Structure 1
């Protein structure tokens, strides 16, 4: 139980949300979501490219050089890495290791540009909601430290932070999946100078999913903490003389207290009604008026004769 309480603590939720925000920002700005190799024919040799190239007559005594390379020996395999915003490729026209970068949206086919911009917008919303959640949780921790009696307001901020965190996680998950679909479509239908020979996921892709995991853990634990302390137990009522126990005229109504014994205790049932024909039926204590005439019924003939003997003597 102590471990669960520590797991649902606001401080731990704040740390998890902050870690998720930092990892998501690093993954968003990185260009190492996917890495791979391209298959490009060898370039012609030049003054800055003398190795791994096709000899050119009249350059560096290569007039008598003949290239007998066949198969894959006629190609070079430069590496590339791609992110959400840019893609960088190895420059094959120089012997020094250099990269040339360009925007990724310029490579995306026209049919996928709308999905590309939608995924980028959702990624930015994902990071923005995490920033809001971190701000709300930090304010809650400040209220808890400076004014512990106002836990009701802290729990209200806790609820909003949980909603924003869970919503951010869902948006991030959908955005990641949409981007990977866009990248696969670009790799197969993109321009000829960007058709990977082989590719795979890189470290930024895994960092993004680790950030998503931390985000969902923080959101669920924060929502569970709010449910345990407010919805099931109810907020604490403070005295009006407490300077921190302010209330705005019932603007936020109090939730009813939860008592586990109320759900187990059954209300007492009324006793069953007995018919007036039963021998155990008891007549209500209502006296008949003295001036009421007595009816001469068959069941009352004996009693009537006794009363006559008492009044007038034996007949």
Structure 2
């Protein structure tokens, strides 16, 4: 493998890594993470919990146990003790939060949480993410196919230019998609349903992967464009050098003939002919005869 193919094979690594980051972020629900404050549920244990007492446990006059309609619970927790913090995480597709009585999570669609007027913006964000992935996949396939087969120098220039354009477009689309999603989430935090609004939140690892994919796209585009500029200059200089050598080879017979003429010091002078200087230059060694 020559040097050019080796460089382009190494370029495939960050492209594939950026593609993997975007695919993982697209399917993940950890773009934003945080906690939500909610009131503790009433004691469900018939014997009472640690901080509550069931007042009525006696049997009714009919001999049957009371159905619990008149039961009273006394809870002496006050202030922040009446609330619990439940962790949640949100992605492009769904929002999940911890379950109270098990280690499972309760998930619901993110579409049902965001305001209705912002759903179109979320569609645009998802569409930009999908198009971003498509452009990166196209760049990887195009560069991989060119590395696998032999190509001339001019074709390599086309490969570098195409990869640079595709990757910069992918990076810009990803950036726009991430900004739109951030705006939608912040609007949902302020205007979303009361049973979902978080108390504290921050960006998750999926959001970091998405921006990491953007950084890789821009880095690959800069490297590809730099290599294209350098290779284009080298290719142009090589073409000029070839044309110069060809021109010198075509003109060499004429130059040799003229050199022989100018190197001739004198010609025979017939009797009765005057002598004049060549081209009117005094002291010129070459002489010709004139009638």
How high is the TM-score relative to the length of structure 2? Answer: 0.70
Deviation at 1:18, TM superposition (A): 0.8
The aligned residue for residue 277 of structure 1 is none
Cα contact 2:54–2:72 (8 A) shared by 1: no
Distance, in Å, in 1 between the alignment partners of 2:182 and 2:188 is 10
Deviates more, 1:202-211 or 1:171-180: 202-211
Give the 5 Å matches for 1:1-315.
9-46=7-44, 57=55, 66-92=74-100, 94=101, 96-143=102-149, 147=150, 150-230=152-232, 232-234=233-235, 257=240
Distance 1:107 1:233, change over 3 A: same
Distance, in Å, in 2 between the alignment partners of 1:52 and 1:227 is 73
Cα contact 1:152–1:235 (8 A) shared by 2: no
Distance 1:64 1:43, change over 3 A: closer
How high is the TM-score relative to the length of structure 1? Answer: 0.65
Distance, in Å, in 1 between the alignment partners of 2:55 and 2:35 is 30
The aligned residue for residue 268 of structure 1 is none
Deviation at 1:25, TM superposition (A): 0.9
Distance, in Å, in 2 between the alignment partners of 1:16 and 1:202 is 22
Secondary structure at 1:221 match in 2: helix
Secondary structure at 1:80 match in 2: strand
Distance 1:99 1:188, change over 3 A: same
Cα contact 2:25–2:210 (8 A) shared by 1: yes
Distance, in Å, in 1 between the alignment partners of 2:53 and 2:193 is 28
Distance 1:72 1:162, change over 3 A: same
Distance, in Å, in 1 between the alignment partners of 2:49 and 2:237 is 78
Deviation at 1:46, TM superposition (A): 2.3
Which runs of no fewer than 5 residues in structure 1 stay unpaired? Answer: 238-255, 260-284, 286-315
Deviation at 1:51, TM superposition (A): 6.1
Cα contact 2:153–2:235 (8 A) shared by 1: no
Distance 1:69 1:135, change over 3 A: same
Deviation at 1:57, TM superposition (A): 5.0
Compare the two structures and name the one with the higher strand fraction.
Answer: 2
Cα contact 1:90–1:99 (8 A) shared by 2: yes
Deviates more, 1:106-115 or 1:182-191: 106-115
Deviation at 1:32, TM superposition (A): 0.8
Secondary structure at 2:160 match in 1: helix
Aligned residues: 228
Cα contact 1:122–1:175 (8 A) shared by 2: yes
Secondary structure at 1:139 match in 2: helix
Deviates more, 1:177-186 or 1:22-31: 22-31
Which runs of no fewer than 5 residues in structure 2 stay unpaired? Answer: 58-67, 243-279, 281-291
